[in-house]
A and B are shown apart, each in its own frame.
Chain A
Amino acid sequence: MVKTIAEINEKIRQGKAVVVTAEEIIDIAREKGMKKAAQEVDVVTTGTFGIMCSSGAYFNIGHSKPRIKLGGGRTYLNDVQAYTGLGAVDLFLGANALPDDDPRNRIHPGEFNYGGGHVIEELVAGKDVRLAATAYGTDCYPRRKLETWINIKDLNQAVLFNVRNAYQNYTVAVNLSEKTIYTYMGILKPKLGNANYSSAGQLSPLFNDPYYKTIGIGTKIFLGGGTGFITWQGTQHNPDVPRTEKGVPKTMAATIATIGDLKQMSPRWLIGASILGYGCSLTVGVGVPIPILSEEILQYTTVSDQDIIAPVVDYSDAFPQMKPDVLTEVSYAELKSGKIKVKGKDVPTASLSSYPRAVEIAGILKEWIQAGKFLLTEPVEPLPGVESGVTQKPLNERPIEY
């Protein structure tokens, strides 16, 4: 049994496609068997909703009269600095950007109440945002100062562009030290006081297509409540890692870069995040449809939390010091039970990504496809796979001699 994406799209157009979520497929395959399930099911939808730091957006704000060249000057959106090293009125805003006067960690742990991620959320919500810019002035762009309200509906382009999203697996963070630490994996209490993880597990997109046989460059996806596309491998893409028998990476592996029109997204699926003692970020909703082209692909989508293993890492020492030490490995089923065993101790667990929202995303994507509103795309290029030689290298620091 082999199906093509074109055949599945034809069924979607006719409203006949069978679409289920990556959670539902587990029981369906168990009841019907892989073969029958693969014949009957056309698409499995996935979802994840978590803090994804390497997210951002770019804008073209339109030319003012007289003209101003923001490029090379300074521009702030609600006091958060945007990147201006682009053409005249193009800007990029990263989710981690902070206002100049934010106290950061001067009083540790800093609260990081407002940053780039929050500006993106407010823009998407349709709120006016204050733009303040200074420029150096040229003969063709004479203006040196600009202060104005902007609104997403007036911008020429407002595009979410995330260079790393939807990590395939993630470490579980704990703290072996004697004091509380404040990390991007949340508050970690001393002496193994708690363990935080961040993945939707069995619903997470890349766990359901572990060898990237259907997900690739050009894949149309749910992004921030609207539709978007995978543009490239995400930064730190690292497919060649140890895997389980079923092919599931046992540690952080693939990532995707994503893009989509911010104007059709929603603040329910793009939420500014404040991470105590760490910084600001953006919580992003991503959902990827997986076409069931063969029994093999169906099998991958039946992955469940018991099959997914994550490494437990000490964020007081091993992580900051770039040591490879892993304390133990645990399954997502164990993580979701509420406690895991680390060094003989029961450690309570908490998730940083929202499973209920991941379920909702997979459900929305399923509805879109069932209603014929969302057709699948054929990837134009696969993501680099295990054999590609793409790896994540550490920085090779070379001292500069003066």
Chain B
Amino acid sequence: MAVSKRIVLHFPRRLVERPIIYRLVKDYDLEFNILKASITPEEEGLLVLELKGDQKEYDKGIDFLIKAGVKIQALSQDITRNEERCTNCGACVTVCPTGAFKLEPKTRIVLFDNDKCIACGLCIPACPPRAMEVHF
């Protein structure tokens, strides 16, 4: 059975330069699409992938990633902003690796674009009033 899934990979620093994704293609015959790639403040690699392939091979591939030390999250995790608690300070703007927060130039209101969010979770502890919330 063929599957296609969107996942978020967190690479510890020691893995950033290793050809992990290449192994997914070569050893497990998976097809991939990079939706987003960046380096977080911890200098971790952060990669959002769409992976396609045979279910069994997919499971083995994920297993391989976990054993290699990659943290995996499903992209179905949803990050929302509690508008009541958000003070529009802007502390999250430079923390977010994908630019999901934008300042409205005139009013300085901080706009949150959920579509750009890859659910990395970095903004959650970075927000002083804790307005960013994660839902599973």
Contacts and interface: CB of A to CB of B under 8 A. Distances in A.
Contact of B89 (A274, A336, A351, A359): A351
A51 B90 CA distance: 13
Interface in A38-52: 49-51
Nearest to B109: A356
B91 interface: yes
Nearest to A121: B129
Contacts of B90: 350-352, 354-355
A272 interface: yes
Contact of A193 (B41, B87, B89, B126): B41
Given A281-B128, A355-B108, A356-B108, 12 more contacts: A49-B87, A109-B125, A113-B130, A180-B43, A186-B95, A187-B95, A194-B95, A273-B129, A336-B108, A350-B95, A351-B89, A351-B108
Given A187-B41, A274-B130, A336-B108, A357 B88 contact: yes
A357 B87 contact: yes
Contact of B128 (A109, A190, A283, A356): A283
Contact of A186 (B43, B108, B109, B126): B126
- Best-surrounded residue of A113, A189, A273, A356 (most CB of chain B within 10 A): A356
B94 A349 contact: yes
Contact of B125 (A111, A350, A352, A353): A111
A194 B95 CA distance: 9
Contacts, number: 82
A283 B41 contact: no
Interface string B91-116: 11111000000010001110000000
A356 B101 CA distance: 15
A283 B129 contact: yes
A190 B42 CA distance: 9
A127 B91 CA distance: 28
A51 B88 contact: no
Interface in B42-91: 42-43, 85, 87-91
A143 B33 CA distance: 69
6 contacts: A113-B130, A187-B95, A338-B103, A350-B94, A355-B88, A356-B87
Contacts of A189: 41, 94
Contacts of B42: 180
Interface size class of A (residues with CB under 8 A): 35 or more
A187 B128 CA distance: 11
B88 A348 contact: no
Interface in A342-383: 348-357, 359
Contacts of A180: 41-43
A51 B41 contact: no
A95 B20 CA distance: 47
Contact of A350 (B41, B93, B107): B93
A354 B126 contact: no
Contacts of A272: 129
Central interface residue in A179, A189, A336, A352, by most chain B CB within 10 Å: A189
A91 interface: no
Contacts of B128: 51, 271, 273-275, 281, 283, 352
Q: Which of A49, A50, A350 has the most CB of B within 10 A?
A: A350
Given A180-B41, A180-B42, A353-B89, A348 B94 contact: yes
A334 to B, nearest CB: 14
A359 B90 CA distance: 15
- 7 closest pairs, A vs B, by CB? A194-B94, A355-B108, A273-B128, A180-B41, A351-B90, A350-B94, A354-B89
Nearest to A186: B91
Contacts of A193: 41, 94
